[in-house]
Amino acid sequence: MAEPLASEDQFDRWVSDHVEILYRVAFRLLGDQHEAEDVVQDAFRSAWTSRHLFDPARSERAWLLAILRRRAADHWRRSNGRRSTGRVVGGSGELPHPIAAAGRDPFADELSSTMQRALGRLPEELRETLLLVVVGGLTHQEAADLQGIPLGTVLSRVSRARGRLREYLLESTVSTPARR
């Protein structure tokens, strides 16, 4: 027997509870506010259209981040090095209302451009795993399940990513002389 569709109210709660986390992860993966907004919008559109597949025994956030991860991969394939068009998805009747973060990056003060550059230097698998756990707030086991890798691999990747970030940030403070 198929699970009942999520109601519009339940979907609205998913959006309000998880949009900030999804945007944070998308922004840190893509490094661009508008592209992150587009990917989050696409992820919520996909969640709305596939809400019948949601398993209530699973974490909402893990399910939404799995969708976001696929939409980010789709975005990378489509853009193939080109910049996004800045198109915002929504308003076509597929969703109850459009979802987008407006204005400047609301998390700009949280992670500096130095941190974003350091994240960009990490190998993809380390960066993604770190972002799912630290920014996305998934448990290590949820990140392992989402990525289809063993728990020990997630633990190792997060540890290595943190160590490399620390090295990259120390390099940037040594190479940037203090202003007087």
What tokens were used for 168?
Answer: 């990259």
What tokens were used for 135?
Answer: 């920014």
State which fold the 1-104 domain adopts.
Rna Polymerase Sigma Factor; Chain: A (1.10.1740)
Tell me the pLDDT of the chain averaged across its residues: 79
What tokens were used for 103?
Answer: 């204005």
The amino acid present at 173, given as its one-letter code, is T
Query: Does residue 154 surpass a pLDDT of 80?
Result: yes
Q: CATH class for domain 111-180?
A: mainly alpha
| C-beta of residue 114 within 8 angstroms of C-beta of residue 11 | no
In the chain, % of residues over pLDDT 70: 75
Q: Domain extents for the chain?
A: 1-104, 111-180
Reported as a single tens digit per residue, the pLDDT across 65-96 is: 999 999 988 887 887 644 433 333 333 333 33
pTM for this entry: 0.67
Q: Give the model's confidence band at 16: pLDDT under 50 very low, under 70 low, under 90 confident, else very high.
A: very high
